[in-house]
Amino acid sequence: GAVSGSGNLKQVKLERESELRIEVSDEPLRLRVVNGTAEIFGSELPPEIWRTFPPRLKFAVFTWYGATIEMDGVTETDYTADETPMVSYVNVHAILDARRRSAKASTSTDSGSTQGPRVIVVGPTDSGKSTLTKMLLSWAAKQGWKPTFVDLDIGQGSITIPGTIAATPIEMPLDPVEGVPLDMALVYYYGHIQPSKNVELYKALVKELAQVLERQFTGNPESRAAGLVINTMGWIEGVGYELLLHAIDTFNTSVVLVLGQEKLFSMLKDVLRSKSNVDVVKLHKSGGVVARDSNYRKGSRSSRIQEYFYGLSKELSPYANTASFNDLQVFRIGGGPQAPRSALPIGSDPVSNPLRVTPVKIDDQILLHSVLAVSYAEEPDQIISSNVSGFVYVTEVDVQRKKITFLAPSPGALPSKFLVAGSLSWLESVEAR
Ligand code: ATP
């Protein structure tokens, strides 16, 4: 029988290959599978067990062979849909799976044949890119592969806080609530949520990340055969398009999955025509994808930061640390002219250098409420090429006593004294949604 609940129990019977689409309201929702089998974005739900879904989450419970779902709570919306693109998505998975098997079985010394598929998912905002990425990863993990997830979406990424690009091996189907585990992630801090803020820096970080993964693959045939699944931003026009081409090239992508846009598909098909080893595949967008407005996006960015410091359901408490100005060095990347015009040779332009690393003076309030990354760099000139160990949130700058107070997810000294600032800030008091 049902565990005691809010008295809003509802059972939904799903036919084969259909899904229950849910938008959680401002209250959490409990849900379980009472009959048959069902999955959320590629990750199977265990039978009978109640799961709690946080407010405002949007998801679908899909069944291949039929299932009965029980919900406890009031949703924003819930409805059943029997028209989904899931069969076409799982067909893509089957092809990738075959390529992984042949990469694993290959005894050739040619590195190309031991390399599993490198898949990139592209499309406009709200086309379901992140969702398809999650499904492909979970289905692969379910079959024992450990594909590498690369998230290049600095606005609505799934690995860690906004403003970052990151990669991590996926060893188990992704939990629909907990998301992507962070403990093995390789993270680079870009520091802004718009790629246009510093396109050169974005490209440089993508390149760094790709090079590190390439090196890791050399020593790890298992992850090499499992390949990559790359999620991208929804910015597909102008410079956004250029950045997609840059990513496709930098990661040596072999499969480009284009979601929900004919024009982008035909443009990519055209430019990649000369590359015989790249497949460009057009896929339908799911009717279940929910468009999110800028307020919602802002809210979810803010909750990603909150989750980093406080945990998913505020079960963690971050550590407040105080350091002296002298013990830390904060840097900013790019921006600002290299030198005043008067100091430059006549006729030259005081152009800014997008990859210049400049120290930031801590002695005013400019860093208050910023999110700073803790770099693994050993010298300031290694900051761009270094990944980060995590983030701190500046809660107080005491100019008189020359002390800075910040929250960190773990106690003790920071692993490095080099911090990186961007334009990312977070007002804790406004309370992330
Ligand atoms: P962006 O470009 O902003 O990153 P996206 O293309 O990656 O967007 P998703 O994040 O995959 O889009 O999907 C948008 C929202 O729709 C998400 O909240 C996701 O959980 C939800 N969603 C996707 N597919 C379905 C579905 N079939 N049923 C219900 N909700 C869905």
Nearest CA to ligand 1 atom 26: 288
Q: Does the pLDDT value for residue 2 go beyond 50?
A: no
Ligand 1 within 6 A of CB of 134: no
State which ligand 1 atom lies nearest to the alpha carbon of 132.
11
Q: Does the pLDDT value for residue 80 go beyond 90?
A: yes
Residue 1, C-beta contacts closer than 8 angstroms, at least 6 positions apart: none
Q: Is 262 annotated as a binding residue?
A: no
- Quickly state the pLDDT bin for 430 (edges 50, 70, 90): very low
Q: Is 110 annotated as a binding residue?
A: no
Q: How many helices and strands in the chain, by DSSP H and E?
A: 7, 23
- Which pLDDT tens digit goes with each residue over 308-332? 999 988 888 899 999 999 999 999 9
Is residue 336 within 8 Å of residue 198, measured between CB atoms? no
- Which pLDDT tens digit goes with each residue over 26-61? 999 999 999 999 999 999 999 999 999 999 999 999
Residue 196, C-beta contacts closer than 8 angstroms, at least 6 positions apart: 239
In degrees, rounded to 5, the angle at the alpha carbon of residue 20 between the alpha carbons of residues 18 and 24 is 160
State which ligand 1 atom lies nearest to the alpha carbon of 57.
18
Nearest CA to ligand 1 atom 27: 288
State which ligand 1 atom lies nearest to the alpha carbon of 297.
3
Ligand 1 within 6 A of CB of 129: yes
Q: Is 19 annotated as a binding residue?
A: yes
Nearest to 10 by CA among 52, 65, 73: 73
Give the mean model confidence (pLDDT) for residues 100-124.
91
| Calpha distance 305→407 (Å, rounded) | 12
What is the pTM for the complete model shown? Answer: 0.94
Ligand 1 within 6 A of CB of 176: no
Nearest CA to ligand 1 atom 24: 289
CA of 128 from ligand 1 middle (Å) equals 4
Tokens matching residue 213: 């993964």
Ligand 1 within 6 A of CB of 59: yes
Q: How far is CA 3 from CA 32, 44, 71, in A?
A: 11, 22, 12
- Which pLDDT tens digit goes with each residue over 120-166? 999 999 999 999 999 999 999 999 999 999 999 999 889 999 999 99
Q: How far is CA 165 from CA 137, 168, 202, 242, 247, in A?
A: 17, 11, 9, 17, 12
In degrees, rounded to 5, the angle at the alpha carbon of residue 355 between the alpha carbons of residues 331 and 154 is 80
Nearest CA to ligand 1 atom 18: 58
Ligand 1 within 6 A of CB of 85: no
Q: Does residue 362 sit in helix, strand or coil?
A: coil
CA of 18 from ligand 1 middle (Å) equals 17
ipTM of the complex: 0.99
Site to probe by mutation for ligand 1, drawn from 40, 126, 193 as the one with most ligand atoms within 8 Å of Cβ, is: 126
Give the mean model confidence (pLDDT) for residues 405-415.
90
Ligand 1 within 6 A of CB of 423: no
